[in-house]
Amino acid sequence: MLFSRRPTEDDTVVAMLASAIRRDISFGTLRPDEKLKIEALRQRYGGSNHSMRETLRMLVSEGMVEATNQRGFRVTSATEDDLADILLMRLEVEKLALTRAMVQGGVDWEASVVASHHQMMRAEDQVREDPNDVSALEWDEACRTHMLSLIAACNSPRLIDMAGRFYDQSRRFRLARLREGRIAFEARRTRHETLKTAIMDRDTQRALALLEEDIRADLRG
Once rounded to an integer, what is the mean pLDDT over residues 118-130? 97
Which is more confident, 136 or 12? 136
Angle made by CA atoms 97, 100, 103, in degrees to the nearest 5:
150
Number of domains in the chain: 2
* Residue 69 belongs to some domain of the structure: yes
Q: What is the CATH number of the domain that holds 167?
A: 1.20.120.530
Residues 97 and 163 in one domain: yes
Residues 69 and 88 in one domain: no
Least confident of 9-13, 144-148, 181-185, 210-214: 9-13
Confidence of residue 9 (pLDDT cuts 50, 70, 90): low
Once rounded to an integer, what is the mean pLDDT over residues 4-16? 70
Residues 58 and 102 in one domain: no
Is 2's pLDDT higher than 50?
no
Domain span at residue 145? 80-220
Residues 170 and 204 in one domain: yes
Percent of the chain with pLDDT over 90: 88
Is 98's pLDDT higher than 90?
yes
Residues 94 and 45 in one domain: no
Is 14's pLDDT higher than 90?
yes
Residues 137 and 172 in one domain: yes
Is 139's pLDDT higher than 80?
yes
Domain end, chosen from 75, 110, 130, is at 75
Is 8's pLDDT higher than 60?
no
**pLDDT one-digit tens code per residue, 58-71:** 999 999 999 987 77
Residues 86 and 67 in one domain: no
> Residue length, the chain?
221
Residues 95 and 39 in one domain: no
* Residue 199 belongs to some domain of the structure: yes
Percent of the chain with pLDDT over 70: 96
- List CB contacts of 147: < 8 A, sequence separation 6 or more: 94, 163, 167
* Residue 30 belongs to some domain of the structure: yes
Residues 100 and 150 in one domain: yes
* Residue 2 belongs to some domain of the structure: no
Domain end, chosen from 30, 50, 75, is at 75
Q: What pLDDT does residue 3 have?
A: 44
**pLDDT one-digit tens code per residue, 72-83:** 899 999 999 999
How many Cα atoms within 13 Å fall on the side-chain side of residue 60?
Answer: 14
* Residue 96 belongs to some domain of the structure: yes
